[in-house]
Each structure stands twice: as C-alpha cells, then as structure tokens.
Amino acid sequence: MTSGDPITCDIAIAGGGLAGGLIALALAAKRPELDVRVIEAAPTFGGNHLWSFFGSDIAAEDLWLVEPLICHQWQGYDIDFPDLKRSFDISYNSIESERLDSVVRSAIGRERIITGRVDSIARDKVTLKDGRTITASRMIDCRGPGDLKTLDLGWQKFVGQALTIKGGHGLTRPIVMDASVEQIDGYRFVYCLPFDAETVFVEDTYYSDTPDLDVEAVRGRIADYAAKKGWTIAATNAREETGVLPVVIDGDFDAYWNSTGQGIAKAGLRSGMFHATTGYSLPDAVRLAVQMPELVKLPQAELAAAVEQLARSHWQSRWFYRMLDKMLFYGAEPTKRYRVLQHFYRLSPDLIGRFYAGQTKWSDKFQILSGTPPIPVLRAIRVLLGQKPLQR
C-alpha cells in the first residue's frame, strides 16, 4: 500500500490503547458486520502497561468484555497504614498490555490494523503523517488526554518493576496500598502484585503536587523496600512501567473537551471519563465500550453529541471526588496526606468498592465526611470555601 492509497471503512478508532482496544473488542463481538479499523502509532496496542481493577469495578453484565483480557486474579487484597492494617475479600484482577494486544489483533484481524501516526482528524477523515488517509462513517478519538492546562491537577505518579525473589516472596494476594513506608513527595505508598511464587510486581506510587518523576531514585526505593521485606532480588524482569496520571481537583469541562476538537466522539482520557481521584480509566472505558455497538448506529454528528453528553454527565456526577481531591492536596500537609486514605480505609468494604468504581452513593458521601476529620476542621472549611491555605 502506497501513501496515496485511501482507506474507506465504517468506523475508524484513532488510538489503540486501553479505551480504543476495548471499543474495538466490543464492536467485533456485537457488530461483526462493520468494517472497523484501529489506528495506532506504536507497533503494539496498549504500550507497556499493567491495568488492575477490583471485582466490584465492573458490572456483572459487562464482564464478558474484560474476562478474556485478565492475566492475574486474586480473591482478596490487603492494605497497610501506620495505624491500620486490613484485609478485604473483594477480588482483584490485572491485565497486561501484551494480552490486550493479542486479543484485539485476534478479534479484528491483521488487515484492519493501521500502523501510523495521526497528523489530523476530522469528522469523516483521518490523515496520517505519511500522507495516508482513512475515510470513515464514524470516528472515535482515543489518543490520550486533552489539554490538561484546562484542569487544576494533582498527580499520581509511579514506577513499577517485576522482581524475581530468591526463595519466593511469601505473598499470596496483593498489597494494594502499603502506606507504612516513608512519606516522600506527597502521599506515598507501595503496591505489590504476586504474579507467581517468586515474581512480584512492586510499584512505588506518589500523590504529588508536581508531575516530575525521578525514575532512578524510585528504582532505588523499590530495591530498599524489597530489602526491608527480607527479599533477595534474583532478577529485575523486563516489565518496568512508569506513569504520571492526572488527579482532577477542579477545571473547565468545556475547555477540556473542546481542546481536542468538536464533532468527534472521544473515549478514555481524551473524553475526560476517568476517575478524578485515582486517575484510572478502566471502569469508565468499559462502560463506554459496551454502549458503542448501539451508539455507532447513530449518524456521526449524533454519535459525537451523545458521547459528549455522557462525558459531561460523568464530569458533573464526579464533583464529590474533586472535592475530596481538594481536601487531599490543599487541606493536608504532604507528609500527612496518608491520614486521609487511612481514614477512608476504615469504612465498609462495599462503600470502598463503590468509591473505586465511581458509583458512590449519597449515604457513602455522608460516611466519608463523618467522624473525626483527618485534617484540621478550619483548614477543611477554608478549602471548601475555595481558599488554598497550603502552598503546593
């Protein structure tokens, strides 16, 4: 195929990450008659990522979409704070990007994968950097975040490594939050996933005021954490993941949406449909993907408007999470932010599950805000009134 050969299809998905991959899988399963093309700049879908989710994050009727992607599954997890240790029986699952790549390729077929970098995208045409064009009746843009300058943000940043531990690590289920570690650069915790008896994925995570990530320094802290656990690292495996995720404190939804153009359906971080507190997009990406087989029956303009309305409703419904983020970043001293999460993890497992799924009820909100506050009351009041009493 030369740069001048046009491609025509029913649906073009720009971006083969998690959101784009899930939409492609949903359409392949429910609308196999459609010619769906996925455009991805990288040679593989999903990059080098590990996505994890709680069993309560995904509705039972939507599990069909993610079950083929699950690489690791555990029946429970633990948390560890300076003044709280607790175990939960909610299942925990992880998806590796290699599995996403394999499943998507098998589902849509090699001939429908277009490797290339997008130069521009319009309502009915994508132009690649090499001059190729893809004309489609429906466009879905999944190419990462919009203009983050339109949002007031904190950051969740991390480095994760898969370690082989000599003689085994002794973990039988994940440690989703180990905040007993030294608090550095904001709220810090370590996350451990036991892949097998000797392999554990260790991720050092920070809720920080800045997106700066010193990868080499965090690697050293991972090694120190392993040593304190009594682990002898026999090897550091090929899987290393780094990431900087936005934690939304406030912002202008219209400005964010319009920063990547109008009249085109969007998904994933580009749509703003991600958890304001965790930065994770998987639960919301699944919810949108399972609706796409019906949504793509709409004409392009109506499809774009419908998805924009879903994203707007998502933004409006997540005000409570943004308020909590204000408390975390503006109300709590960086080295004491762990107290906010420690307070939260004393609540009921069902409430915690709904929080991570983005399905918090009014009664949950009352419970989260009740009791002895983890930050000074006057400071919390100033934050709620819009003041920023602590320097960031």
pLDDT by residue (tens digit) across 83-95? 999 999 999 999 9
Asked whether residue 1 carries a pLDDT value surpassing 50, the answer given is no
Q: Which residues contact 153 (CB under 8 A, 6 or more apart)?
A: 246, 247, 248, 249, 251
Asked whether residue 72 carries a pLDDT value surpassing 70, the answer given is yes
pLDDT digits (tens, 9 = 90+) for 107-134: 999 999 999 999 999 989 999 999 999 9
The CATH class for the domain spanning 152-248 reads alpha beta
For the whole model, what pTM was predicted? 0.93
Same CATH topology for 7-72+92-146+260-317 and 152-248: the answer is no
| Residue 52 in tokens | 């994890």
**Domain definitions of the chain by residue range:** 7-72+92-146+260-317, 152-248, 320-384
**How distant, in Å, are the alpha carbons of 94, 251, 279, 325 from that of 152?**
30, 5, 13, 10
CA distance 271 to 303: 13
For domain 7-72+92-146+260-317, which architecture applies?
A: 3-Layer(bba) Sandwich (3.50)
CA distance 158 to 269: 18
CA distance 133 to 187: 46
Find tokens 């998690």 and name the residue.
Answer: 18
- The confidence band for 384, taking pLDDT boundaries of 50, 70 and 90, is low
pLDDT digits (tens, 9 = 90+) for 16-57: 999 999 999 999 999 999 999 999 999 999 989 999 999 999
**How distant, in Å, are the alpha carbons of 51, 276, 296, 344 from that of 318?**
22, 7, 26, 17
Angle separating helix axes 282-295 and 300-317, nearest 10 degrees: 150
pLDDT digits (tens, 9 = 90+) for 185-236: 999 999 999 999 999 999 999 999 999 999 999 999 999 999 999 999 999 8
Q: Which residues contact 61 (CB under 8 A, 6 or more apart)?
A: none
Q: What is the DSSP letter of 311?
A: H
Residues making up the chain, counted from first to last:
392
